[in-house]
Structure 1
Amino acid sequence: MKLRKVTAASATALVIALTATACGGDSDSGDSGSGGGDKIKIGIKYDQPGLGLKEPDGSFSGFDVDVATYVAKELGYKPDQIEWVETKSADRENALARGDVKMIAATYSITDERKQKVDFAGPYLLAHQDLLVKADSDIKEGTDLNGKKLCSVTGSTSAQNVKDKIAPKAQLQQLGGYSECIAGLQSDQLDALTTDDAILAGFAAQDQYKGQFKLTGLKLSNENYGIGVKKGDTATVNKINDALEKMVSDGAWDKAVKDNFGPANYKNEPAPKIGQIVQ
């Protein structure tokens, strides 16, 4: 067999090609959505027990985390290939537009206004605005809040929503965070806390709060939680929807609900149908 002579120029070209190939396979953006050695960046909340929480040891827990981990697995990513990125509510649309994250699972309600800026997969959970009260409270419905102290976080419209619709004489108290409202409930400085029932259940399910609080089942609004992706990324939306349907069918969705909300006796809605938005 006659061997072909390799010139210095061709050898140099071969080295350059191999180097470029190696560099190209080391991306950590997760934009390909195919796994296979890449990383994927997923936006979550860091401060919502039961949904998205950064634990003291640096790990992450919560229903949103479990859903996102399952979806990532179906997209080809192992848990150690996920980079969790704290994504605050006010920055979610910008984080997707900038490409900071591939997707966001962070109690992200699907609304017409948001759909102008991002695309959504799901919904994967139907939540409702509710009330959290002490376990021995006689507050059973919204009208019982007249003359009572109702807490929500600064900037939220939840407490005002209750006052406008069902309890005009409620005394609104806005604090910096849900933990402050919970502390007020414990000490009887406040009578109720209002926001999405999933968020309330997440707090009530924590070890230090077990048995102390209950949800009233107010259902003042419908919050369809979806997974946000960059506007126009239809391929990723379709892959996530397929993953969510599989998560429901194989029982992993029900397990995630029980694991994260069970101790709060959260009466969750059945898993919503993909693309079915409850108004």
Structure 2
Amino acid sequence: MKLRKVSAAAATALVLALTATACGGGDNNDDNGSDSGSGGGKKIKIGIKYDQPGLGLKEPDGTFSGFDVDVATYVAKELGYEPDQIDFVETKSADRENALARGDVKFIAATYSINDERAKKVDFAGPYLLAHQDLLVKADSDIAKGTDLNGKKLCSVTGSTSAQNVKDTIAPKAQLRTNSGYSECVAALQSGAVDALTTDDSILAGYAAQEQYKGKFKLAGLKLSNENYGIGVKKGDTATVDKINAALEKMVSDGSWEKAVKENFGPAGYQNEPAPKIGDIVK
């Protein structure tokens, strides 16, 4: 009789243990990649742009292309995730900090320029590319320098610092117009609703190289600012920052970085800067 009581207790304990294990299974498959990065059968969510040719673009067939996509894919592999384990999440400029704070994504590679204000809210790995703010104008435009924008209509995207930088330091009489994405700004430039689009030269080069825009636009060739692209990580997640930095260094050393630059920017004749050193922020 006593033996049966002990066996029943043991059976009850076993059921409870199995139940707890089953309930906790979801935590071991956190699909934002917030585990140790061991990969396995899990997924990792990475924030990118969907509308930036040459950097982060969702193609009509649902695949993704661009330099940021290649960098993110390389980094994810170093963290233990194969390409089919990556979920690319559209992350607009105005929502990048919130997406990381909410845990929607593990990291963000989306033309994310490192600056002091953003660094208060998120941690950055990198930089992995040094770009420069420039202007995209129509091929026959007479805008040749920043001050020519006074009295002109200037477009950029919500959450970007580029247009405000122009108005604050270069052309205070410029008329700012913001849209949710760069595609809308390019359409406005083509229709004549705006006179110029400002953002990083890498982004502008991607648009200028698209088949439907070839010969219609030109880059003004100005270096209005230095934009150090970093990979955004949730504030305090220093372990992930260290892993990403190691991955970026390896990407440069094994030639994958240079290959990605040529494949994504080469058709536009983009003159890229050399690969920056980790932690080397050019002001």
Aligned to 1:31: 34
The residue type paired with residue 198 of structure 2 is: T
- 1:82 Cα offset (Å): 0.6
5 Å matches for 1:204-223? Answer: 204-223=208-227
Mapped contact 2:49–2:56 kept (Cα < 8 A): yes
- Alpha-carbon distance in 1 for matches of 2:275, 2:106: 24
Aligned length: 272
5 Å matches for 1:236-247? Answer: 236-247=240-251
Aligned to 1:193, what secondary structure does the other structure show?
strand
Distance change (3 Å), C-alpha of 1:163 and 1:14:
closer
Structure 2-normalised TM-score? 0.83
Pair 1:81-2:85 in alignment = yes
Aligned to 1:4: none
- 1:183 Cα offset (Å): 3.1
Which of 105, 109, 121 is 1:105 aligned to?
109
- Alpha-carbon distance in 1 for matches of 2:118, 2:164: 22
- 1:47 Cα offset (Å): 2.0
Structure 1-normalised TM-score? 0.84
5 Å matches for 1:134-153? Answer: 134-146=138-150, 148-153=152-157
- Alpha-carbon distance in 2 for matches of 1:123, 1:207: 30
- Alpha-carbon distance in 2 for matches of 1:103, 1:71: 10
- 1:192 Cα offset (Å): 2.5
The residue type paired with residue 31 of structure 1 is: S
Aligned to 2:281: 277
5 Å matches for 1:230-269? Answer: 230-269=234-273
* Aligned residues with identical type, % of pairs: 82
Distance change (3 Å), C-alpha of 1:10 and 1:228:
same
Mapped contact 2:94–2:158 kept (Cα < 8 A): no
Mapped contact 1:214–1:264 kept (Cα < 8 A): no
Aligned to 2:29, what secondary structure does the other structure show?
coil
**1:43-97 deviation digits (Å, cap 9, x = unpaired):** 1122222222222222112211111000001111000101111222222222222
- Alpha-carbon distance in 2 for matches of 1:162, 1:103: 29
- 1:105 Cα offset (Å): 0.9
- 1:178 Cα offset (Å): 2.8
The residue type paired with residue 224 of structure 2 is: L
Pair 1:182-2:186 in alignment = yes
- 1:147 Cα offset (Å): 5.5
Mapped contact 1:130–1:218 kept (Cα < 8 A): yes
Q: Mark the runs of 5 or more structure 2 residues left unpaired by the alignment.
A: 1-6
The residue type paired with residue 40 of structure 2 is: G
Pair 1:192-2:196 in alignment = yes
The residue type paired with residue 186 of structure 1 is: Q
* Alignment RMSD: 2.8
Aligned to 1:36, what secondary structure does the other structure show?
coil
- Alpha-carbon distance in 1 for matches of 2:168, 2:26: 56
The residue type paired with residue 152 of structure 1 is: S
